[in-house]
Homo-oligomer: A and B are copies of this chain.
Amino acid sequence: MAEGSSGAKGRPLPPGTRIGILGGGQLGRMLALAAARLGLKVHIYSDESGPAFDVATEATKGAYDDGASLDAFARSVDVVTYEFENVPVATAERLARSCPVRPGPAALRVAQDRLVEKTTIDGLGIPVAPFHAIGGLADLERAMADEPAGAILKTRRLGYDGKGQIALTPGADLAAALAEIGQAPAILERRLSFAFEVSVLIVRGLDGAVAIYDVPRNEHGGGILRRSTVPAGLPGAVLARAHDMAGRIAAALDYVGLLAVELFYMGPEAPEPLLVNEIAPRVHNSGHWTIEACGVSQFENHIRAVAGWPLGSPARHSDAEMVNLIGRDVDDWPALAATPGVCLHLYGKREARAGRKMGHWTRLAPIRSGLR
């Protein structure tokens, strides 16, 4: 069952009602801007102030385990959603007692633990990268023996943007690797040689209707997304398969809102052309181009879904390229602002720490018909 998504399915929340968002980062900021467009108000709740605070009707700085503060937040809003997948499940469950939480806590539970995530997806008959559960050194030694081409040790919980991951080759010091991740429960994932990475941005409404944006191709550097481009150049049959996989995952989670499914494209000759890498139960960096290239962005469609509105069309009118501004990249803003065709987004973060997402830009181009 999916708590929170089974509330009053009948009527969309009318303009003027208030959406609660857990998390105050740039995704919360872009969600708040999209909600504003629809006449909906936003109340941000976060344990630290951030870029979303500047554009919200109301913002609360509070701990995710501060029951009284959470209860007051829940009373002030008509529905709660979140902008990051590491919201404590207990927080979501507490809020769900007073008002709908969408996506429901079940999606958080699956997405927060790589082992549960992979087991769940595998259980749907959807291929994932081969993996082993790692409880300690004995598991890791046994698992590495199966991975002569090398593998990646990933903590089961709290990893993002390449954090909590260690690449291992045969002969590596496995005890040291486990020490580096603090002996945390982990998985070992086979290192794959894929053609490129893509993501499916699927949004599912309260009534189960789905809309799928065109699939972007994603390039990473240092574990962080650098660039997304649409179209990805996937063969049509592979694209259809990607859509089908994402649809099955969203339905299995009785998901409400935008879900990102990251996939490895193994190339046209591979027996399994697509493997799921991971899912993110939220709006996703690889969908930022939808702000300019679509009439209804991923942010607006997430808000529509959680507010029980009909979904907007995910059709795009342009090809698009999105590039992240990471750390000191943002210092280029005057040149980017002066470059014709660059649509610049800055998140208003004060400090440009290394690896921090400070903004992005999108460039549109006419659709190259026939390319897909």
Give residues in A with beta carbon < 8 Å to B: 12, 14-16, 29, 32-33, 36-41, 54-57, 292, 295-296, 304, 309-310, 312-313, 315, 317-318, 330, 333-334, 337-338, 340-348, 350, 359, 362, 364, 366
Contacts and interface: CB of A to CB of B under 8 A. Distances in A.
A329 to B, nearest CB: 13
Contacts of A39: 333, 346-348, 359
B37 A345 contact: yes
B29 A36 contact: yes
Given A36-B54, A39-B346, A304-B337, 4 more contacts: A33-B55, A36-B348, A317-B317, A317-B318
14 contacts: A15-B333, A15-B348, A33-B37, A36-B55, A38-B337, A39-B348, A40-B348, A41-B54, A41-B348, A54-B57, A55-B56, A296-B343, A310-B334, A313-B341
A309 B312 CA distance: 33
A348 to B, nearest CB: 4
A363 to B, nearest CB: 8
A343 B295 contact: yes
Contacts of A55: 32-33, 36, 55-57
Nearest to A14: B333
Contacts of A37: 33, 344-346
Contacts of A312: 337, 340, 343
A357 to B, nearest CB: 12
Given A296-B343, A309-B337, A337-B304, A317 B36 contact: no
A316 to B, nearest CB: 11
B36 A344 contact: no
A208 B359 CA distance: 28
Nearest to A297: B343
A59 to B, nearest CB: 10
Contact of A340 (B14, B15, B41, B313): B313
Contacts of A56: 55
Contacts of A362: 295
Contacts of A315: 340-341
Contacts of A337: 12, 38, 304, 309-310, 312
- Which of A32, A304, A317, A366 is most buried by chain B, counting CB atoms within 10 A of its CB? A317
Nearest to A57: B54
Nearest to A363: B295
A13 to B, nearest CB: 11
B364 A317 contact: yes
Nearest to A38: B346
Contacts of A347: 39
Contacts of A345: 37-38
Contacts of A16: 348, 350
A350 B41 CA distance: 12
Counting from the closest, the 8 A-B pairs by CB-CB distance are A39-B346, A310-B338, A39-B348, A54-B57, A313-B340, A295-B343, A15-B346, A36-B55
A346 B36 CA distance: 8
Contacts of A304: 337
